[in-house]
Chain A
Amino acid sequence: MTFLEHLTPSDETGMIRDAADKWAAGISDADVRRSGGFAPGRWSEMAAMGWHGLLADPDHGGLGLGPDALSLLCQAIGRARLPEPFVASSVVCVGTLTALGQDVTALVDGSAIAAPAGFGLPCDGGPSGVTATAGAEGHNLSDMIDICESGPDTSEFLVATAGGDGLFRLPRSTPGLTITHYGAIDGRNLARLSFDGPVPADALIATGDAARAAIRRGTTLAVSALAADATGTIEKATELTTAYLDERSQFGKPLAAFQSLRHMVADLLVELEASRSMAELAAFAASDDGDPKHLHDRVRARICRAAQSVGQNAIQLHGGMGMTDEMAIGHYFRRLIFLQAMMGQEAGALRDRATTLARDIEMQREVAQ
């Protein structure tokens, strides 16, 4: 597939987008506020539309679609700022497990929810390093994972060991697994996991290259989904801001009549278009099994900056009202902060890219000599 073909959605993908837009548009700000970190009803509705199985094979009840459709769906989720762990469970875990041929039926039908730990979210893996040592009755896991997108409804965990050479699939009830719940900045559920002791032998579902490839697939899908989610969030934040400027008056005229504010709006639009472009690139680059790191590092960096800039300026343009919990804009701002953390922040993405660039320059130096 060429990029141009990618830009023209297939009928199937277009249907996903239309359905997602329609569904998300029916969810009000009040609905989202009421539901806290997780609304079982919404999760079931998503299951009924087949979205948890978007990436899964038809054998496991999935739709067998790819990152294109995923991207459109995640944009709708971002626009509605839904707190459910869709990216965690239905993208990263279903994507990783599908790459390994594992059964994902329960995840697809919505009766189970999985959380990736030590990979995928945040998409640079985060600071945790779980170690596994072989024991008499399986592996002994130890150490902590500080951030895992999971709540009381999470039924299983997909745990990567440090270095990515092992992948464990652990039910919530696994002995020695301690889950400490805490809240995310944007209202969703997070947890800190600690491992201490042996896990059953069949919990280890992949090792070595197979594990690394599956983890890479999950991470690639995560970048694409996060880029799309952030783009939808940025789009909605921009709309809320322009509507507010048209509506609110000071000095006898709408705020939108003041040129200094109009020019800030123009910059929001430039950032929004950069995000949309990067979300398209992220999805396209994820559409085969290759490693799109050289593009995805740029996607993360550029979208994080857009998220930061649009979030901050949207608050500024809302003035004092932007500082209140009452206005929706602050909730979008906080979602953008969460998404930047999951993408490893602009600084982290630039650091990753800079490492590659340094290597290129070094290679060119050797060739030139």
Chain B
Amino acid sequence: MPEVRDHDHGAPAEERDHIDLLLDDDLRAFRRDVRAFLRGAVPEETRNRIDRGYAATKSEIADFLAKLSARGWTAPAWPVEYGGTGWTQLQRMVFSSELARNAVPGIPPFGVSMIGPVLYTFGTQAQKDTYLPGILSGKDFWCQGFSEPGSGSDLASLRTRAEDRGDHYLLNGQKIWTSKAHYADRIFLLARTDEAPRKQGGISMFVLDMDTPGITVKPIIAIDMNHSLNEVFFEDVKVPVDGLVGERGKGWNYAKFLLGNERTGITNVGRCRRQVERLKRLARADLTPGVDLSKDGAFLRDLARVEADLTALEITEIRILSQGKNGPSAMTGPSVLKLASAQIQQTLAELIVSTLGLYAAGRGAGFVDAFDDIGDLPSDFVDGALNEYLFGRSVSIYGGTNQIQRDILARSALETRP
């Protein structure tokens, strides 16, 4: 297999980093530090695999988190007293952008971005002491038990029940789409503890260990033919009372708090920029003999259009993070970002697949082994792109579908309630 070149090798400086324009000298120096650290912390082979569109393995993630943790960089956004870095919003943006651009394993969001902030904001001292260190060190992997077979977009209709038995809650029910549950150490979940007039009432949030008796995990193989999703069953699971997060019956509020964080965190700007570079790489790869994409007006126009979209998304994200007077409100900002970002991510993946031509028909290890390379690209470059395209259909579904985001946005702009 030929040597893989650095994905942004050879790009003119202004194109490689047009975001540079937005940074001052200190931030540029900061970025150099981050970049050097990341490239040292993750083996090149791992970065190449991720760059081509394959998911990092659990051990690759764990190795990376251990190094991040040693540097104190696992959870930059947390308050300093809980282990955050005290960075400015822009430093954090540069950091997360570098994570994506350098194709290191993603920091799993479930601990750092989701339950962590809920616990240090609403949790008891004991919960903070018990759970936050394991998140910061990267030792504990978490998963999220929200969706149920009958409760997807209509999450508040969930039926998993936690019955108050005095010294514990008795948990019965089922969760679905639970990413990484097959290797998670702990789970945070929503369950109904009380009957309430509004379906959002009576829901509570719990944290518990995945090795608690009565929990069964079953894999769901996704359309990318990989295993990252699961079903999780709870049968008479005893949840200790100190597993209740915050106040009983307020789980819905905590979930909204948590999902708001999730939406801001999933713009994936850095990864999108990597995809733009990948498209340029594909354009000069001679994948289809006789077709020079760098002279194909339709291809260049599509590339230019999505690149302009991406630039607008980057600026919108900065406007939100800077919390300036002109930025979108806290209510609309995350939904605007999520809709725009889903559109861009999917357009990029679609464009990439369309440049693969007939090779988009192959898939998997056998396909990779059948070719040394395709054009002047290694065959797993093609397979990885398909991998990303397939699972990328989920970005407009998870964290609130595009249609749910539109509902939220419309509510902000219209007086009338549906």
Interface residues of A (CB under 8 A from B): 2-4, 7-9, 238, 242, 245-246, 253-254, 256-259, 262-263, 265-270, 273-274, 276-278, 280-281, 284-285, 294-295, 297-299, 301-302, 305, 346, 349-351, 353-354, 357-358, 360-368
Q: Is the CB of A7 within 8 A of B305?
A: no
Q: Is the CB of B307 within 8 A of A262?
A: no
Q: Is the CB of B10 within 8 A of A274?
A: no
Answer whether residue B253 sits at the interface, using C-beta atoms and an 8 A cutoff. Answer: no
Q: Which chain B residues lie closer than 8 Å to A258 at the CB level?
A: 418
Among candidates B90, B315, B409, residue contacting A278 with C-beta atoms closer than 8 Å: B315
Within 8 A of A (CB), among B363-414: 403, 405-410, 412-414
Q: Is the CB of A274 within 8 A of B410?
A: no
Q: Which chain A residues lie closer than 8 Å to B295 at the CB level?
A: 358
Answer whether residue B21 sits at the interface, using C-beta atoms and an 8 A cutoff. Answer: yes
Complex: A354 Cα to B308 Cα, angstroms: 11
Q: Is the CB of B416 within 8 A of A254?
A: yes
Among candidates B293, B316, B412, residue contacting A274 with C-beta atoms closer than 8 Å: B316
Q: Is the CB of A259 within 8 A of B418?
A: yes
Considering only CB atoms, which chain B residue lies closest to A302 in the complex? B308
Q: Is the CB of A277 within 8 A of B406?
A: no
Q: Which of B159-167, B185-193, B196-204, B332-340 participates in binding chain A?
A: B332-340
In the complex where A360-B15, A365-B284 touch, is A301 in contact with B308 (Cβ < 8 A)?
yes
Complex: A267 Cα to B24 Cα, angstroms: 34
In the complex where A277-B316, A280-B315, A364-B280 touch, is A263 in contact with B308 (Cβ < 8 A)?
no
Answer whether residue B212 sits at the interface, using C-beta atoms and an 8 A cutoff. Answer: no
Q: Is the CB of A246 within 8 A of B416?
A: yes
Complex: A193 Cα to B404 Cα, angstroms: 53
Within 8 A of A (CB), among B261-298: 280-281, 283-284, 293-295, 297
Q: Which chain A residues lie closer than 8 Å to B12 at the CB level?
A: 360, 363
Complex: A306 Cα to B41 Cα, angstroms: 42
Shortest beta-carbon distance, A148 to chain B, in Å? 28
Complex: A170 Cα to B408 Cα, angstroms: 55
In the complex where A262-B406, A263-B406, A350-B304 touch, is A278 in contact with B312 (Cβ < 8 A)?
yes
Given contacts A298-B312, A361-B284, 4 further A-B contacts (CB under 8 A): A8-B325, A263-B406, A270-B339, A354-B303
Q: Which chain A residues lie closer than 8 Å to B10 at the CB level?
A: 363-364, 366-368
Shortest beta-carbon distance, B303 to chain A, in Å? 6
Total interface residues in chain B, CB < 8 Å: 62
Answer whether residue B70 sits at the interface, using C-beta atoms and an 8 A cutoff. Answer: no
Chain B 301-322, CB-CB to A under 8 Å as 1, else 0, gives: 1011101110111011011001
Q: Is the CB of A353 within 8 A of B304?
A: yes
Most buried by A among B18, B305, B324, B414: B414
Among candidates B5, B11, B326, B417, residue contacting A7 with C-beta atoms closer than 8 Å: B326
Q: Is the CB of B284 within 8 A of A273?
A: no
Among candidates A246, A259, A351, A366, residue contacting B301 with C-beta atoms closer than 8 Å: A351
Q: Is the CB of B414 within 8 A of A262?
A: yes
Q: Which chain B residues lie closer than 8 Å to A267 at the CB level?
A: 406
What are 22 contact pairs spanning A and B, CB under 8 A?
Answer: A3-B22, A7-B318, A7-B319, A7-B326, A245-B416, A254-B416, A256-B410, A262-B407, A262-B414, A266-B408, A266-B409, A280-B315, A295-B21, A295-B311, A298-B311, A302-B308, A302-B311, A346-B305, A349-B308, A353-B308, A358-B300, A363-B12
Shortest beta-carbon distance, B376 to chain A, in Å? 8
Q: Which chain A residues lie closer than 8 Å to B293 at the CB level?
A: 361
Answer whether residue B415 sits at the interface, using C-beta atoms and an 8 A cutoff. Answer: yes
Shortest beta-carbon distance, A76 to chain B, in Å? 13
Q: Is the CB of A245 within 8 A of B309?
A: no
Q: Which chain B residues lie closer than 8 Å to A301 at the CB level?
A: 304-305, 308
Q: Which chain A residues lie closer than 8 Å to B340 at the CB level?
A: 270, 273-274
Q: Is the CB of B300 within 8 A of A266?
A: no
Answer whether residue B256 sits at the interface, using C-beta atoms and an 8 A cutoff. Answer: no
Q: Is the CB of A280 within 8 A of B305?
A: no
Answer whether residue B29 sits at the interface, using C-beta atoms and an 8 A cutoff. Answer: no
Complex: A125 Cα to B408 Cα, angstroms: 42
Q: Is the CB of A298 within 8 A of B307?
A: yes
Answer whether residue B14 sits at the interface, using C-beta atoms and an 8 A cutoff. Answer: yes
Complex: A259 Cα to B418 Cα, angstroms: 7
Complex: A229 Cα to B294 Cα, angstroms: 34
Complex: A274 Cα to B328 Cα, angstroms: 11
Q: Which chain B residues lie closer than 8 Å to A265 at the CB level?
A: 409-410, 413-414
Shortest beta-carbon distance, B18 to chain A, in Å? 7
Q: Which chain B residues lie closer than 8 Å to A278 at the CB level?
A: 311-312, 315
Complex: A299 Cα to B308 Cα, angstroms: 7
In the complex where A3-B318, A281-B311, A354-B303 touch, is A269 in contact with B332 (Cβ < 8 A)?
yes
Q: Which chain A residues lie closer than 8 Å to B336 at the CB level?
A: 269-270, 273
Shortest beta-carbon distance, B271 to chain A, in Å? 19
Q: Is the CB of B9 within 8 A of A368?
A: yes
Shortest beta-carbon distance, B164 to chain A, in Å? 38
Q: Which chain B residues lie closer than 8 Å to A259 at the CB level?
A: 407, 418
Complex: A211 Cα to B408 Cα, angstroms: 51
Most buried by B among A269, A363, A364: A364
